Structure 1
Amino acid sequence: METYRIITLDFLTLGHHSPITTHQSPLTTHDPPVTMPKALWKRTKKEICTPYEALAQIYDFVMRHVPYQEWTTYVEKILRKFDLRDPKILDLACGTGTLTLELTARGYKASGADSAPEMLRIARKKAESCSSSVTFFEMDLRTVQGVPTYDVVLCLYDSINYLLSLRDVASALAGISDLLLPGGLFIFDVCTENNSLKYFRDFTECEHGDGFSYTRHSFYRPRDRMQINEFEIRFDDRPGRWNETHRQKIYSSNEILSVIEASPLEMLRMYDDSSFRPATDNSDRIHFVLRKPPLTSS
Structure 2
Amino acid sequence: MAEHCNLYDRAMYYDVIFKRDVSSEVKFVNDVYTKYHGGAISSVLDVACGPGYHARGFARDGVKSWGLDLRAEMLRYANDEAKKEGAAVSWIEADMRTFKLSAPVDVAFCMFDGLDCLLTNDNLVKHFQAVAANLTPKGLYIVDLSHPAEVSFSHYKKFHYHGQRDGISVDIHWATNDPKYDLATGIAHVALELHVDDNGKKIVVRDEADERLLFPQELSLLAAQSKSLEVVGWYGDFAINQPLDHSPKSRRMIGVFQKVG
TM interval, shorter chain, is 0.7 to 0.9
* Distance change in 2, residues 1:85/1:105 (3 Å): same
1:248 maps to a residue whose letter is E
Q: Does 1:279 align with 2:234?
A: no
Structure 2 gaps of 5+ residues are none
Compare 88-97 and 222-231 and name the one that shifted more: 222-231
Quote the residue 2:125 is aligned against: 170
1:72 aligned to 2:26? yes
Q: Does 1:88 align with 2:53?
A: no
Matches within 5 A, 1:202-221: 202-204=158-160, 210-218=167-175, 219-221=178-180
CA drift at 1:121: 0.5
Following the alignment from structure 2 to structure 1, what is the Cα–Cα distance between the partners of residues 163 and 127? 34
Seen in structure 2, the aligned counterparts of structure 1 residues 291 and 148 have a Cα distance that, compared at 3 Å, is farther
Measured in 1, the distance between the counterparts of 2:84 and 2:197 equals 24
Q: Is the 8 A contact 2:44 2:65 kept in 1?
A: yes
Q: Quote the Cα distance in structure 2 between the aligned partners of 1:97 and 1:172.
A: 19
Give me the whole-angstrom Cα distance separating, in 2, the residues matched to 1:217 and 1:71.
Answer: 24
Offset from partner CA, 1:154-210 (integer Å, 9 cap, x none): 112221122222221111101111111222111112224322269953445666652
User: What is the TM-score when the length of structure 1 is the normalising length?
Assistant: 0.72
Counterpart residue type for residue 68 of structure 1: V
TM-score by length of 2: 0.81
Residue 103 of structure 1, CA deviation = 0.8
Q: 1:277 to 1:234 in 2, by over 3 A?
A: closer
CA positional deviation for 1:62? 1.2
Amino acid at match of 2:35: K
AA matched with 1:71? E
Change (3 A) 1:213 1:51: closer
The answer as to 2:168 corresponding to 1:201 is: no
Show structure 1 runs of 4+ deviating over 6 A: none
Write the letter of the residue equivalent to 1:81: K
Instruction: Please give the alpha-carbon distance, in whole angstroms, between the structure 1 residues aligned to 2:18 and 2:243.
Output: 27
Q: Percent of pairs identical after alignment?
A: 21
The reply to whether residue 251 of structure 1 matches residue 247 of structure 2 is no
The answer as to whether partners of 2:113 and 2:146 remain within 8 angstroms in 1 is yes
Query: Hey, what does 1:267 align to over in structure 2?
Result: 231
The answer as to whether partners of 2:151 and 2:157 remain within 8 angstroms in 1 is: yes
Distance 1:193 1:161 in 2: 13
Match of 1:230 among 173, 192, 195: 192
Residue of structure 1 equivalent to 2:134: 179
Distance 2:214 2:246 in 1: 12
Instruction: Output the amino acid matched with 2:23.
Output: Q
| Amino acid across the alignment from 2:205 | W
The answer to whether residue 74 in structure 2 is matched with residue 122 in structure 1 is no
CA distance in 2 between partners of 1:75 and 1:261 (Å): 22
Task: Tell me, yes or no, if the aligned pair for 2:162 and 2:169 is still in contact at 8 Å.
Answer: no
Contact 1:201 1:220 in 2 (8 A): no
CA distance in 2, matches of 1:213, 1:185: 35
Structure-2 residue corresponding to 1:37: none
Q: Distance in 1 between matches of 2:59 and 2:103?
A: 21
Distance 2:109 2:232 in 1: 15
**What is the alpha-carbon distance in structure 1 between the residues aligned to residue 161 and residue 55 of structure 2?**
28
Question: 2-side partners of 1:51 and 1:208: how far apart?
Answer: 17
* Range moving further from structure 2, 256-265 or 127-136: 127-136
Shift of 1:255: 1.2
Match of 1:290 in 2: 257
Whether contact under 8 Å (1:9, 1:244) holds in the other structure is no
Contact 2:6 2:207 in 1 (8 A): no
Larger radius of gyration: 1
Deviation string 1:217-272 (CA, Å, 9 cap, x unpaired) is: 42441444437250234454767632122443111222111101112112211222
In the alignment, structure 1 segments of 5+ residues that lack a partner are 1-7, 13-48
